[in-house]
A and B are shown apart, each in its own frame.
Chain A
Amino acid sequence: MVTPGAHSAVESMLDVKGLTVRYGAHTALQDVTLQVRPNEIFGIIGPANAGKTSFLRALNRMSDFVSGMQIEGSVHLAGRDIANVRNVYALRRRIGVVFPLPVGLPLSIYDNVALAPRLRGVKSRAELDEIVERCLRRAALWDEVKDRLRNLGSLLSGGQQQRLTIARALSQDPDLLLLDEFSIAVDPVTTMRIEEVLKELRQEMTIVLVTNLVQQARRLADRTAFFLGSRCVEIADTEDLFTGTVKDQRTRDYVEGRYG
């Protein structure tokens, strides 16, 4: 088990080298190299089809299950090359994922959050109750659903489903949390609440935040990468990105809203 909080400053949580993702003949991501430090919120911005989602999908080896998806290059998670792990499910249990469109599984709200603990073998009712309540509270959903935990999770509103998927990701107790444009289907108030949650979570885990909102990256991320045309154009401290001390003209244009 990875001990949260304890880390050395030099080591990277995520070490990606020369990552290329292809779907058949189409190249979605090309030669990306970057490091994410422990307990950092790492933002990724860029226009549609820049390869942001493909990047996240490569990190938890979703490529194993998606036919036609090929990966080149290497990804190390906490120093471990993920390409040769013998139990890919154990790897995925350490990585929480939140999708752009919320996917409430067609199970009860309770079972949605209890699913991950159950998958890793937690059977005790009391323990499950505790995890469900804790995760729903952290995702700022508990008060709204505590009286109807038996209702179907897939029938909640969009904003509630998105917080449900965050609670579900937290129930994995992950080392790494991947968020893919979580605010697309969520109203601004809920977005702000989730952002507050993320700021707290960084005490315990590393977060990679793919976002279509440049300002969201500015509010949350320590460092931000700019993806464009399936390549990583630039990585910089977030503040530098917005104060104009970046090298690449394209990054400056995107941040200032000139295209994308």
Chain B
Amino acid sequence: MSAQDSTFLKTEHEEKSLRQQKLVRMFLMFMTAMLVLPVLGILSVIVARGAPGMSLEFLTEPPRANMTAGGISFALIGTVWLTAVALLLALPLGVSAAIYLSEYARDNWLTRLINIAIVNLAGVPSIVHALFGVGAFVHFLHFGKSILAASCTLAVMTLPVVIVATRESLQAVPQPFREACWSLGATRWQTIWRVVLPNSGSGILTGVILCVSRAVGETAPIMFTGAVLYAPFSPEGVFDQSMALSTHLYNVSTQIPNVPPGLPFSVALTLIGVVLAMNATAITFRMRLRGRKKW
């Protein structure tokens, strides 16, 4: 073999580093699997132990026998109430905040302050939100322990979710579109209304779905502001108290004696089913959005 031929052959050193590369790759893959596999395992346990108790009656009938039997209809209806009212409050606020930040705000101290506030609203522990809800909505504003107080608390908690998702979708609309529209004599608002918002609708919808899924899963903030252990009827207005899916799951797991072992898993399966279905929808939306650009 001539010297020339061996130029492109691997040297021993290179062989070694390639072997190392493979090892490192395997190791990292293993670490990723360690994060992902337990979750898949956990999900399958919930499905395996919760599915036998699932039925149409379980979803549509009220609880019986001190909540050790029967269904979860009141909790489901209560969750729909809480989430809907929270969304009604958080959506207009969140979307307008996002519009302000993306379309009007200049890079100044106030904008920075708003951003810090958003980061902290998202980062403050849910139990602190619960304390705020108790102090501000239940007592100070005299909403009492009610759907309204709980939904207000949830709205404050989920506000950052709406703002961040909406702002991202607004900022994805290219700047030249805005400048073209402005140069036609459009006001900022006309530009937002006719060009920016129509092209970020699906992004806002994603934000809505994520907000709802977050609100559905929260437990601590509603436990002391409006959700009760047991309500013998479904709520008729925002000043009623109600059951909720998440607090019901907490209660059947820890508070209520003699619960059949499968019941918490059936409730958990329902809750996780709702939340994951909504998140999957949001993800699908985002993917389709990316695949179907108008520019």
Contacts and interface: CB of A to CB of B under 8 A. Distances in A.
Touching chains A and B, CB distance < 8 Å: yes
Interface of A: 60, 62, 65, 67, 89-97, 99, 101, 103, 105-107, 115-116, 119-120, 152, 154-155, 165, 168-169, 172
A91 B106 CA distance: 23
B180 interface: yes
Contacts of B184: 92-93, 115-116, 119, 168-169, 172
B187 to A, nearest CB: 5
Residue of B106, B179, B180 with most partner-chain A CB within 10 A: B180
Given A65-B182, A67-B107, A89-B186, A115 B199 contact: no
A95 B181 contact: no
B199 A106 contact: yes
B188 interface: yes
B30 interface: no
Main secondary structure, interface of B, reads helix
Contacts, number: 68
17 contacts: A67-B106, A91-B185, A92-B183, A94-B185, A97-B183, A99-B179, A103-B176, A103-B180, A106-B294, A106-B295, A119-B190, A152-B294, A154-B294, A154-B295, A168-B180, A168-B184, A172-B184
B100 interface: no
A90 B185 contact: yes
Nearest to A119: B186
Interface of B: 106-107, 176-188, 190, 194-195, 198-199, 294-295
A82 B195 CA distance: 27
Contacts of B106: 67
Given A106-B195, A107-B195, A115-B194, A92 B177 contact: no
B185 A92 contact: yes
B185 A99 contact: no
A140 to B, nearest CB: 20
Nearest to A111: B194
Given A90-B185, A169-B184, 8 more contacts: A65-B179, A67-B107, A89-B186, A95-B183, A97-B183, A101-B176, A105-B180, A172-B185
Contacts of A154: 294-295
Nearest to A95: B183
A105 B295 CA distance: 9
Contacts of B294: 106, 152, 154-155
B188 A65 contact: yes
Contacts of A106: 177, 195, 198-199, 294-295
